[in-house]
Amino acid sequence: MNDNSALYAFNKFGDTVLRTAFAMTGNYTEAEDITQEVFLALHARPQDFESDEHMKAWLLRSAINRCKNLRKSARMMKNSPLDEALASTLSCEFTPRDNEIREMIAKLPEKYSSVIFLYYFEEYTVKEIASLLGKNENTVSSLLQRGRKKLKTELEKEGYVYEN
């Protein structure tokens, strides 16, 4: 089996790409579409990857870019209540509390939501996130810190209590 094939990539990282897209869009249907687009792009234009981690990074970067494009699109400006209702009922393997927090993360500006998701859900280091996003490590650290503050503020508004 060719380790760089789209099928291999899908079998190995399909769930990860779907979770990333879902966390960033807050909509399971959109996340499925983005996941499909990512793997179709890989199939149409095969890449040479140095390792599985390189492949995973490429797939996640591709998914994040598509999520950014979706957020900017006119289609997202016309989000229907039905889409929101469906998204809230589909959990994508998150617990209800995780789902609430994920929804709060998705509502953050993209620059914060992407670093928070990659750091906490995908367990990338700051250095790996910087490489993946093409940003300076200090920038990623700052975005992570500011994103945590914004998320904490939003969660406190919703009644979450933190124990230090």
In a domain, 164, yes or no: no
Q: Is the pLDDT of residue 55 over 50?
A: yes
Q: What number of CA atoms fall less than 13 Å from residue 143's CA on the CB side?
A: 23
Average pLDDT over residues 124-128: 90
Choosing from 45, 67, 93, the residue where a domain stops is: 93
Q: What is the pLDDT of residues 7-50, one digit of tens each?
A: 999 999 999 999 888 888 878 889 999 999 999 999 999 888 99
> pLDDT value at position 102?
78
Count the domains in the chain: 2
- pTM beyond 0.95: the answer is no
Tell me, what CATH number does 140's domain have?
Answer: 1.10.10.10
> pLDDT value at position 96?
57
| Helix H or strand E segment including 27 | none
How far is residue 136's CA from residue 67's CA, in Å, rounded to a whole number?
Answer: 21
Identify which has the larger pLDDT, 78 or 55: 55
- Portion of the chain with pLDDT greater than 90, in percent: 35
